[in-house]
Structure 1
Amino acid sequence: MASVTFEQVTKRFDDFVAVNNLNLAIEDGEFLVFVGPSGCGKTTSLRLLAGLESITDGQICIGDRRVNHLSPKDRDIAMVFQSYALYPHMSVYENMAFSLQLQGVNQTEINKRVQSAAAQLGIERLLQRKPKELSGGQRQRVAVGRAIVRKPAVFLMDEPLSNLDAKLRVQARKEISKLHQDLNTTFIYVTHDQVEAMTMGDRIAVMKDGILQQVDSPGNLYNNPNNLFVAGFIGSPAMNFFDVEQTTNEGEPCLKLGENLISIQKYLPQFIVDGGVTFKDRPLTLGIRPEDIYHPQYLPPDIPTVAVQATINMIEMMGNELIVYLTTAEQGEFVARFDPRATVKQGETLDVLWNVQRLYLFDREMETVIA
């Protein structure tokens, strides 16, 4: 096992900066997930750690070793790729044993490690099959097993579940999380799927345009995003955003949301200092998550709300909830998660209720949260 440290790591491809001054410390035994949209630098960061790309500036340490100039085979890491990269002419056993044979490990130890990994992953009966005889989920297990037998200090996984169907992805997420618990080894995982990130990671590193936006636990990332990008990327459906104006009502500071006035003193008192608002004269964006918008018939008790009249554009029945897309003349489009018992229909206009104790405020120009 080993910790991993990125210190001011930058990677340039000619004039394009793929990773920009990345500083990140990953603890020994931690499950860290890199997440972000395509082209954000998450896979490049993983490849820099693996030694598959050279670093332009900065340094990477695995444990106490600086590994910038070490070849991949000398870094004590094992990597699982999106494509699985199995040798088609080899059996499952041979695929799993191959790296150990290259290292000169004796055959008795190879047999022991392969059998142990196969039992751990439930693929003992597949050891004599070729990759073409396996399903996608089975190939994914073989690729993970090939990494396990090496007993690396760090496991690197680059979108290993993206080729699986939805049901298999859920199953594989559980298997990889359990594997991490059993091995108690450092895992670094790359995905574009924020659901994978939220369900698997001890911490999540959110990236955009090569820059680390925020690194935190899944709960803190969801409840306390530090900028508009993180707030909009983490959560499905995404957080709703609205431009709001600062105003006063009988001398009391308020936010103007369409025809509604939201008292800052009453609902956002953390922004009042010495009788004035901390964000005076700053352009504001208000955020609210879909689950904090309610159908009027199914409002939980003791929740202060503001009513917003909206028209239903589309409804998605999810079984345990309704995803409802709405629009207003003042706020534009937004999405809500309703109780599945709610009776709604496309084209209907109703007053939906927003929980004013679950509002987020961002500086519209800086795109940062107002704290």
Structure 2
Amino acid sequence: MHVVLAGGGTAGHIEPMLALADALTRRTAPGGGPAVQVTCLGTARGLETRLVPARGYDLRLIPPVPLPRRPTPDLLRVPARVWRAVAETRALLTGLGADVLVGFGGYVALPAYLAARRAGVPVVVHEGNPLPGLANRVGARLAARVAVSTPGTPLHAGEHVGMPLRPSISHLDRAGLRAEARAAFGLDADRPTLLVFGGSQGAASLNRAAVAAADALTAAGVQVLHARGPRNTDVTVPPRPAGAAPYVVVDYLERMDLAYAAADLALCRSGAVTVAELSAVGLPGAFVPLPIGNGEQRLNALPVVEAGGGLLVDDAELTPAWVTENLVPLLTDPAALAALAANAAAAGTPDADERLADMVLEVVSR
């Protein structure tokens, strides 16, 4: 069986695509060995050129078809670009002997959906965001099945499956790994721990608020693991006095599983993958949605917050005083933290990768 996956550009499309690829290749044929062969589609301009080969999957490149956000002369070139991309993708699907195409949105997905339709290849769509993009709105009308990460996503025939995650996260035993994780970051074994991160590049407003609240946090016995972002080397915290709670600043977190295991609470943005990972591992979050865009990050966090698994604060309201007044009392209340963690876990879908794999294989079997 040959499954073709289309999802490039950003990590929000690529990570769930690769999680599904892993779930599919774990399936074995009756005689042993993998039952599914996976090929990924991408463009030369996206992160997939690095991330997909690093995970061991075949990557085929097709022309990107970016859609202008407003009427410009470039809009006139879109039909020709779509035609070219569809023709090349259809030839790829035919040459690969594709049994099904699974799309995750973005520049790669739209021509892939149209090409699959012309080639007679069934389509499955996965939408990771609560506000679907154009590619998946079109794809959903052509698809045999449509999966969504967030309940209530306004997408035709959408079925709630969740966000596919890598097994190192979805199968994480936070309690069992806690001592090792805290030791790895130079943290104390038994102190309440706040994790601060703003994505791979960091977030200036989170950095400012957390650093300015460092004295209040550590004076209350709360230790901090803070990923400032590789370009934010000016974000520093003076060494804590002997015997005080540590405040550890790193540029980047290579092992998010260890960071999640070390933490009792996260102060972070609310990208779709971040929210899905925190809820899957049962780590409550104080979510600070990105203040630009279409409000999508706020919608990502709302289901977990409404389930009692986290807090939500606007970027403009995130101040050192807010951290001190809201997070310090929470982090020093074990019962309240435990309740938040249980509610966060109840809102998560750690088996989304397997559920989506089942959906894809069912479409092929039909």
Q: TM-score normalized by structure 2?
A: 0.27
Larger radius of gyration: 1
Higher strand share: 1
